[in-house]
Amino acid sequence: MIEATCHCGAVRITVPRKPRQLTSCNCSICRRYGALWAYYKAKDVSVRSARGATTGYCWGDKSLRFVRCNTCGCVTHWEPVTSQGDSRVGVNARNFEPSALGASRVRRFDGASSWKFLD
Ligand SMILES: [Zn+2]
């Protein structure tokens, strides 16, 4: 198990393993957040925070919610608004300790246009 936390520690996310691959996406929201996404099955991700500690942001078709900490402002993850059995969650790998990411490959994804990897 490894843990990602926001800067102040109010939001804690545990996942079963280090990410093998990280995605740097250039879509309108990801490029502004500067996030590196690690994808996991929703059932493998545990998010702990106090009630009212986070704010969600939805845009476009409003199928995903981008969650950030109300105290320190760090974007911690995105999750489906309506969860299904096979749902994915994107954990912002910037919130892992750097040592958890040493061997992870970063891929550049063209979410802004072609929806293909650029590398
Ligand atoms: Zn925080």
**Residues in CB range of 102: below 8 A, 6 or more apart:** none
> pLDDT at residue 102 above 90?
no
Q: How far is the CA of 43 from the centre of ligand 1 (A)?
A: 23
Give the mean pLDDT of 77-101.
Answer: 92
Q: How far is the CA of 75 from the centre of ligand 1 (A)?
A: 9
**Segment among 21-25, 84-88, 115-119 with least mean pLDDT:** 84-88
Residue 84: its pLDDT value, please? 74
- Cα separation, 56 vs 81, whole angstroms: 10
Q: How far is the CA of 114 from the centre of ligand 1 (A)?
A: 34
Q: How far is the CA of 79 from the centre of ligand 1 (A)?
A: 18
Q: How far is the CA of 94 from the centre of ligand 1 (A)?
A: 13
Q: How far is the CA of 89 from the centre of ligand 1 (A)?
A: 19
What pTM, to 2 d.p., does this model score?
0.93
Q: How far is the CA of 117 from the centre of ligand 1 (A)?
A: 31
Give the mean pLDDT of 41-66.
Answer: 95
Q: How far is CA 98 from CA 16, 35, 38, 115, in A?
A: 17, 14, 14, 28
Q: How far is the CA of 68 from the centre of ligand 1 (A)?
A: 8
Average pLDDT along the chain: 95
In which band, very low, low, confident or very high, does the pLDDT at 74 lie, cut at 50, 70 and 90?
very high
SS3 6: coil
Q: How far is the CA of 31 from the centre of ligand 1 (A)?
A: 20
> pLDDT at residue 83 above 80?
no
